[in-house]
Copies of this chain bind each other. A is one copy, B any other.
């Protein structure tokens, strides 16, 4: 079991070796965003070690993407397996020439954790790509329904090459204020969090709905928050019915993560399900950051108890691969090669995902995350009482270890934490977010809390 001294910082952060390595790297690879350069051989479990020998408790986890710890033994075994060697060396065009093993890799991996009701999968390489593939599926379904069994017209076929109507129709994906869905031209058009993501990049004229701004603590503002959610739902429906072009899909995160860890209630999401059903809109749940157990359930949307499942759920990050799940086979386009590309994901990463999934299931890590989250919340709430001006709007109760709070100077607090040996992250404009791995357990809580206490006291 890790002890308190398992994290230790012996240089400034970043240290001199990290700085020198960055400078060298920057000659051909932009390294302005590097926090520190990592010695992954020395990193293990929830601890990350930089090349200056500093050892941090990692509660940021590669932007929320490491699921079961550095140098995890089960993952090492998967990395050394014959399946993996073959997938790396003989990279297939999965849509044309899949391996004889591909079926079982999916069945014994991703399909084991498919969200209820969504038993089909399309694999991809990033969350951004997964979302764009989902949007394309929504657009093709929308037009397919409009055609009502009719074939493509010659006018559609010729006009789409010119990016013109009717072949390239005006159709929209609705997203929410403060959302983050990726940085491709389509996904970025649905991202609404920060100018640094969007500035100077042409985008589609798609609608942006307000996301509920809940007040904390939730039990104190029940009425106000319910009214706020109703206001947003009404605006969602108003935008759908008044937008200049049809809205084919709606995309939402279960918890808006990059945009500041903004939560809404199950009732709000049930409302979205009702509205999307009513208007024939594909409901896409972007679980790139929330999926794979961090909220104390395998999928964030499992907290909602929806009357019918979302149409599409996208994943990436902790999955260590990416893609989307869906149920309705109408979401498979009418002809082959419409949803297609050369690689269609990477079987090497899907094999890693299988190992992650089996590690999560074998060790019951989702249940552990729910349990540890409850214990951690109590401690964080204690700090919120102790530092009411520095730990504000603590959120994530009952959502595993998916915690965040607002503070005065988030970047500065996160930096101080690093100098004290704990790696955490920011999001939104004034929010600190915790993104522990699923192996974060009760033994790590005192390290995190005592360090946070020290950092807050120093402000």
Contacts and interface: CB of A to CB of B under 8 A. Distances in A.
Contacts of A172: 202
B139 A195 contact: no
Given A51-B100, A85-B76, A199 B167 contact: yes
**Oligomer copy total:** 2
B200 A143 contact: yes
- Best-buried of A79, A88, A143, A320 by chain B (most CB within 10 Å): A88
A198 interface: yes
Contact of A125 (B32, B65, B70, B125): B125
B163 A205 contact: yes
B132 A185 contact: yes
Nearest to A207: B163
A458 B353 CA distance: 47
Given A89-B79, A336-B33, A96 B63 contact: yes
B338 A196 contact: yes
A171 B96 CA distance: 36
B185 A204 contact: yes
A374 interface: no
- Best-buried of A31, A163, A187, A320 by chain B (most CB within 10 Å): A163
A270 B92 CA distance: 36
Given A185-B132, A195-B160, A320-B91, A33 B337 contact: yes
A223 to B, nearest CB: 30
Nearest to A24: B103
Nearest to A143: B200
Contacts of A189: 163, 185
Contact of A71 (B89, B129, B192, B199): B89
- Best-buried of A48, A177, A198 by chain B (most CB within 10 Å): A198
A443 interface: no
Interface string A111-139: 10000000111110111110010011001
Contacts of A36: 97
B93 A65 contact: yes
B93 A140 contact: no
Given A156-B199, A185-B132, A341-B126, A97 B39 contact: no
Contact of A349 (B29, B31, B158, B346): B346
Nearest to A206: B163
Given A136-B201, A185-B184, A28 B120 contact: yes
A164 to B, nearest CB: 8
Interface residues of A, number: 124
Contact of A121 (B29, B185, B192, B340): B29
A307 interface: no
A62 B93 contact: yes
* Secondary structure dominating the interface of A: loop
Contacts of A182: 341
B98 A37 contact: yes
Contacts of A163: 189, 198, 203-206, 208
Contacts of A70: 89-90
A90 B71 contact: yes
Given A30-B95, A35-B96, A79-B84, 13 more contacts: A30-B332, A38-B99, A62-B92, A62-B342, A76-B85, A126-B343, A140-B200, A142-B200, A157-B195, A163-B204, A168-B198, A185-B186, A186-B186
Interface of A: 21, 24-25, 28-41, 43, 48, 51, 62-63, 65-66, 70-72, 75-76, 78-80, 84-86, 88-93, 95-100, 102-103, 106-107, 111, 119-123, 125-129, 132, 135-136, 139-140, 142-144, 152, 156-158, 160-163, 167-172, 177, 182-187, 189, 192-193, 195-206, 208, 316-317, 320, 332, 335-343, 346, 348-349, 352
27 contacts: A24-B103, A29-B106, A29-B123, A30-B339, A37-B99, A38-B97, A38-B99, A38-B100, A62-B342, A75-B88, A75-B89, A76-B85, A88-B352, A91-B352, A129-B129, A136-B183, A139-B201, A144-B200, A156-B199, A161-B192, A161-B195, A163-B206, A167-B199, A167-B200, A184-B184, A186-B186, A196-B338
